[in-house]
Structures are given as structure tokens and as C-alpha cells.
């Protein structure tokens, strides 16, 4: 009985891993502030939403930049 071959990257091919980022943590903090602010202070809601939007914008911007920097022969 033969074992089916797996799709494995050729030896020496670079594997792309995104860099570390604090943006997911910032987004979580912003959403938490906004949710807590609903019960305590509208100011906290606006601060939390502003932080969330800023973190989400930066995260998407960085992801798009990394995507554009992938090699042309990369399957995307």
C-alpha cells in the first residue's frame, strides 16, 4: 500500500511568518474600554472606540503591506 505524498515546501524555500505586533492587544483593550464605558461613562466609550478604530486601521494597513511584499511566485 503506498502512502500519498503531502504537499511540502521544497527544501530551502522561505516560509513567511508575520512579525510581532501589539495591535491585537490594543484592539482588545479598546473594545474592552468601550464595553465597560457603556455602563460607566460615555467618554470611556469614545476613547475605547477611537483606540479600536486606530488599532484596526493599523493592523489592516500592516497586513496589506506584508501581502504586497510577498514574492510574485507565491501562491496568493
pLDDT tens-place string over residues 25-60: 999 999 999 999 999 999 999 999 999 999 999 999
Is the confidence at residue 1, as pLDDT, over 60? no
Helix (H, G, I), strand (E, B) or coil at 54: helix
Q: In whole angstroms, what is the distance from residue 38 CA to residue 9 CA?
A: 49
**Contact partners, residue 36, CB within 8 Å, separation at least 6:** 44, 48
Is the whole model's pTM more than 0.85, yes or no? Answer: no
Q: Where are the domains of the chain?
A: 23-68
- Give kind and range of the element (H or E) at residue 28: helix 23-40
Name the burial class of residue 55, with classes exposed (0-12), middle (13-18) and buried (19+) by CB atoms within 10 angstroms of its CB. buried
Q: What is the pLDDT of residue 46?
A: 97
Q: What is the pLDDT of residue 2?
A: 61
Mean pLDDT of 55-70: 89
Q: How many CB atoms lie within 10 A of CB 17?
A: 7
Amino acid at each position: 500500500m503506498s502512502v500519498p505524498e503531502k504537499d511540502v515546501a521544497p527544501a530551502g524555500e522561505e516560509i513567511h511568518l508575520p512579525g510581532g505586533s501589539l495591535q491585537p492587544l490594543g484592539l482588545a483593550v479598546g473594545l474592552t474600554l468601550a464595553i465597560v464605558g457603556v455602563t460607566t461613562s460615555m467618554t470611556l466609550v469614545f476613547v475605547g472606540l477611537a483606540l479600536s478604530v486606530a488599532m484596526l486601521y493599523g493592523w489592516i494597513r500592516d497586513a496589506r503591506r506584508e501581502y504586497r511584499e510577498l514574492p510574485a511566485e507565491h501562491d496568493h
